[in-house]
Structure 1
Amino acid sequence: MTDGTSGSESNVYVLEESTGERQLLFEKINNFSEHFLSTLNSQKAFQNNTHKDKEDDLFFLIDENKTTIDQILEFYQDRVLNTGLNPASGGHLGYIPGGGIYSAALGDYLAAVTNRYAGIFYASPGAVRMEDALIDWTAKLIGYKEGYGGNLTSGGSMANLIALHTAKHHKGVDNTNVDKGVIYCSSQTHHSIQKALKVIGLETSIVREISLDPQFKISLDALKLQIEKDTEEGLVPFLLIANGGSTDVGAVDPLLELSSIAKEFDLWYHVDAAYGGYFMLTALGKDKLKGLELADSVILDPHKGLFMPYGLGMVLVKNVKHLMAAHTYKANYMRDAMTESQLSPADLSPELSKHFRGLRMWLPLKLYGEQVFGDYLDEKLYLAYYLYQQLISIGYKVLCEPDLSVVVFRLEIKGHESDVLNKFVLDYIKNDGRIFISSTILDNKLTLRAAILSFRTHKEEIDLLLLLLKRIKAHLDI
């Protein structure tokens, strides 16, 4: 071209929409989201048999073609929202439900539009101060006093990884001694712990799965005996991992007693409270989680216990110096940021570039205050105990009284194969779709579980689950 411009120059302003273009896009997306939220009560919690590929899925692919926002939203409804699990539904009682409160979505919107960089204090002191305030609030909630530090992460998996890497670094575990190092946990430990051990180079350490008591909590006697035996054999115990609300059954390990054992044998004491930690906002939670403040590291998931959208975890370390020593590294091109005395999130985690996660958590807490969240969690505790009692009354076997808000149960009938029977119950509920529960294996048997944590789950949803369970039991003429 003779004017010195390229053929693609007409495109260089397309991403900088005008006010009118922005308003049109926003209006269509807002209308779509309002329709989604206003019709949630009529939507299924799970749509079974929707996982196969369809020809329409070619629309997922990216190419040179442009499409309209209307086409995009129509496809999103059909091939995303109308498939699989609906985590926004109050009928979602499977796994550990994530949240998705509306005000948090608005926080995410503001974070994305303003695009503040929350990794370095020098780049956005306000964003870092906001995230520090959330870490400070949570640390004080669990009982930490001073000298602690933490990081907002993408979820519990990354939070566990950061905590365990800090433990490894502080305990001086390296290639020369990793094979003799011993880690203690239980079969109720979340699988993200095993993944983290692989990632941080502890795969060849000895992992002891300590036996459980009848309430699915780690056995104190078995733990102490194993540590003593390992020490006598010349091994090096260095890490104890406890549950502050296990995923399978919601069990809270005896945290106070475990802290004493960790202190006696000089172990780093880590508590995975991803699911249960924010129950500290309730009186029952404070009682159940007594001793959480004694852990060297704790993880919590605001996208569970605070009902935030998926993608928000937190790691806390009692001594921030240990966290910083395990993660800080200086690069020449970041020299401008080195003039600040304030710690940055990038000094305390593997991440440098990161999403400004704090705003999605800070905005709802500022809008509504912490008590509202505690009241919602109290309701979930009540609903779990209500379900526990009702299941017994209609003839289902409940494996343990719930510590928090997970209830595990089976239909057990003499003369019927337990796994076959409970798979039939599970499939019946999935095919109905209004309620979604999940399963696990306990005592070598298929076990049904209801995790009551969605902020939209109320007594109506629990009563519907009970109705379905009664109906399938009657259908089987039992």
Structure 2
Amino acid sequence: MAKHALSIPEAELKQLTATAAELATTYWSSLSTLPTFPSTSGPQTFELFTRPWDEAPRGSDVLQDFSVIAQHGRPSVGGFFGYVAGSGEPVGAIGDLLAGALNQNVTAWRSAPSAVVVERTVVKWLAEAIGCEGFNGSLCGGGSAANLMGLGMAREAKLPANEEGVIGGVVYASEEVHMSIAKAVALLGLGRKNLRLIPTDDQFRMRPDLLQEAIAADRRVGLKPIAVVASAGTVATGAIDPLEEIAAVARREDLWLHVDGAYGAAAALAVPERLKGLALADSLSLDAHKFLYQPIDCGCLLFRDAHFARKAFSNSGDYVQVFSQDSMEAFAFFDESMELSRRFRALKLWMSFQYHGRQAFREAILRDLAHAQTLATAIGKEPDLELLTPVTLSAVCFRHRSKNNQAILTRVIKRGRVFISNATIDGHFALRACFVNHLTTEADVEAIISEVIEAAGEVDS
């Protein structure tokens, strides 16, 4: 029988998957020995990875590229504290491999029956875990996509544009809000000038009194307020806006409340008392590839009323028409999401959550929160260092009192023992360590202080 193009014999396929599994496990077992950032450069990576796409096949040799790519990538090691980037739990990664093997288009039940039910179940697990029982939603690429969809729902709920075109609308958010909110406002045609950034208090939380004043001022000049975005964990400091007070303002003013919980919402699994008010949201973003440690990408949008999701996103034609009258068989994610083609993101959550159990994730989150407090305490004991913000979740912002902190950051990263990032606090450059890493040890936390002090000794001023 003739071999078809792209077909692979069964024996060769078994060898390929075995080799891939060996590469992955070898990589995972090596993480404790790797620097937090590779010794690499732009020209070097360009030279390594820009080969032409040849006519002739390379066959299984291509798998050996993985080791070179890994050598020049940023590894998910225990000493990585930059950004808000989770650590890529291995069972989730295995779930991603199997999801790719299944190749399901999770767009509607008729396209992927089991995958659709798995995703709807996982979404309900997430909602229940953070105290938002009864919410529905869908998985997406990340917080930026979830925030865009949440504000798309807000616009259609309060100032419909799908039928007659965009006619304005004002959105309110903290001055500490994530950059994805400004992007979403612009992409929805509301205009960046219609995003009001509300000042924060001394804990970097939105001030509800100033929110109320801004809404009143806009109404007086004939503008149309439509939505408030509250942050459940700002990207710089981890601050949590006063959700219950902001929700009261939103209800009183008939505004949509979207909570950007991409960073912090999942922490409600472990510390619900710090995140009271999540269930008051109309929509909420959450990233499982942050505090739930899943491989990227794994964002989620949760919402209270699917009617507004369908109002924003349902635009079905004959191509995707569903004929079944059964409520499950008639379900389509494309009616409640901006995506039509959708990968099986839920499988990694389904497998990882059940493999480890809920308590293990709760303990991992609590351990990260404790790491942040440990670092804050250690900073307070160092006369040359200064803590700059309260530690609400797991982000710790600090500085060296007398040396150039930007130069210190460059040296710390180059040294490769730990990886920290930066933030701007009250207009000043700050060092920042963020703990969303199930691999972090107490020794990794202690190394932040020693690495910063030693790096400071290597810079002039």
Would the aligned equivalents of 2:182 and 2:192 in 1 still touch at CA under 8 Å?
Answer: no
CA distance in 2, matches of 1:45, 1:190: 25
From the superposition, tell whether residues 201 and 180 of structure 1 become closer, same or farther in structure 2 (CA, over 3 Å): closer
Paired residues of 1:121 and 1:337 also in contact (CA < 8 A): no
1:15 pairs with 2:6: yes
> Which secondary structure does the structure 1 equivalent of 2:389 belong to?
coil
Match of 1:448 among 427, 431, 448: 431
- In structure 2, the residue matched to 1:428 is 411
For residue 439 of structure 1, the aligned residue among 388, 405, 422 is 422
User: What is aligned with 1:101?
Assistant: 89
Against the structure 1 CA distance between its residues 406 and 54, is the aligned structure 2 distance closer, same or farther, given a 3 Å change threshold? Answer: closer
Matched, 1:30 2:13: no
CA contact (8 A) 1:120 1:337 kept: no
The 2-side partners of 1:407 and 1:467 are apart by 16
Paired residue for 2:238? Answer: 250
Task: Give the 3 Å change call, closer, same or farther, for CA 340–158 of structure 1 in structure 2.
Answer: farther
Q: 1:252–1:361: structure 2 CA closer, same or farther, 3 Å change rule?
A: same
- Corresponding residue of 1:4: none
One of 346, 349, 373 as aligned partner of 2:337: 349
The residue type paired with residue 451 of structure 2 is L
Deviates more, 1:25-34 or 1:173-182: 173-182
Superposed CA deviations along residues 158-186 of structure 1, whole A, max 9, x for unmatched, are 11111111111111243979565211112
Alpha-carbon distance in 1 for matches of 2:361, 2:51:
37
Q: How much does 1:362 deviate? A: 0.6
Give the equivalent residue in structure 1 for 2:147: 160
2:361 is equivalent to residue 378 of structure 1: no
- 1:83 matched to 2:69? The reply is no
In structure 1, the partner of 2:401 is 412
How is 1:27-176 mapped onto 2 (pairs within 5 angstroms)? Answer: 27-53=18-44, 56-57=47-48, 59-70=50-61, 72-78=62-68, 80-86=69-75, 88-146=76-134, 148-174=135-161
3-state SS of the aligned residue for 1:359? Answer: helix
Where does residue 316 of structure 1 map in the other structure? 302
Q: Which amino acid aligns with 2:11?
A: G
Q: Give the Å deviation of 1:99.
A: 2.8
Alignment: residue pair count: 457
Distance 1:178 1:16 in 2: 49
Moved more, 117-126 or 88-97: 117-126
1:198 aligned to 2:181? Answer: no
The letter of the residue matching 1:300 is L
- 1:272, 1:299 within 8 Å by CA — same for their partners in 2? yes
Shift of 1:261: 0.7
TM-score by length of 1: 0.90
CA distance in 2, matches of 1:358, 1:92: 26
* 1:223 has 2:221 as partner: no
Q: Deviation per CA, 1:64-122: give whole Å up to 9, x if none.
A: 1211433x2443322x2222522x21111001112311111111122111223321112
CA distance in 2, matches of 1:250, 1:214: 13
Rounded to whole Å, the distance in 2 between the matches of 1:290 and 1:471 is 41
Whole-Å Cα distance in 2 between the matches of residues 450 and 426 of structure 1?
11
> Per-residue CA shift, 1:283-316, capped at 9, x if unaligned?
xx31111011101110100111111100110001
* 1:463 maps onto 2:446 in alignment: yes
How far apart, CA to CA, are the structure 2 residues paired with 1:376 and 1:49?
32
Counterpart Cα distance in 2 of 1:296 and 1:55: 45
Cα deviations by residue, 1:332-384 (Å, 9 ceiling, x for unpaired): 13335554423221211011111111101111111121111010000000000
* Other-structure match for 2:170: 182
Is the Cα–Cα contact under 8 Å of residues 142 and 280 in structure 1 kept in the other structure? yes
Distance 1:407 1:54, change over 3 A: closer
CA distance in 2, matches of 1:276, 1:314: 13
Residue number in structure 1 paired with 2:391: 402
Is contact 2:397–2:432 with CA below 8 Å preserved after alignment?
yes
- SS of 2:42's equivalent? coil
Structure 1: which amino acid aligns with 2:52? L
Instruction: Decide whether the 8 Å contact of 2:407 with 2:459 is kept in 1.
Output: no
Matching residue of 1:269: 257
Q: Normalising by the residue count of structure 2, what TM-score does the alignment of the two structures yield?
A: 0.94
Whole-Å separation in 1 of the counterparts to 2:2 and 2:187: 46
Q: Give the structure 1 partner of residue 311 of structure 2.
A: 325
Q: Give SS of 2:177's match.
A: coil
Please give the alpha-carbon distance, in whole angstroms, between the structure 1 residues aligned to 2:426 and 2:166.
Answer: 32
User: Residue 391 of structure 2 aligns to a residue in which SS?
Assistant: coil
Q: Is the radius of gyration larger for structure 1 or structure 2?
A: 1
CA contact (8 A) 2:37 2:419 kept: yes
Following TM superposition, by how much is the alpha carbon of 1:46 offset from its aligned partner in structure 2, in angstroms? 0.7
Q: CA separation in 1, counterparts of 2:160 and 2:429?
A: 38
* Partner Cα distance (2:148, 2:427) in 1: 29
Give the superposed CA RMSD: 2.1
Cα pair 1:178 1:205 within 8 Å, conserved: no
Structure 2 distance, partners of 1:61, 1:196, is 37
- SS of the aligned residue for 1:242 comes to strand
> Once the 2 structures are TM-superposed, how far is the Cα of residue 269 of structure 1 from its aligned partner?
0.5
| C-alpha contact (below 8 Å) 1:121/1:344 kept by paired residues | yes
Match of 1:166, SS state, is helix
Residue 304 of structure 1 aligns to a residue in which SS?
Answer: coil
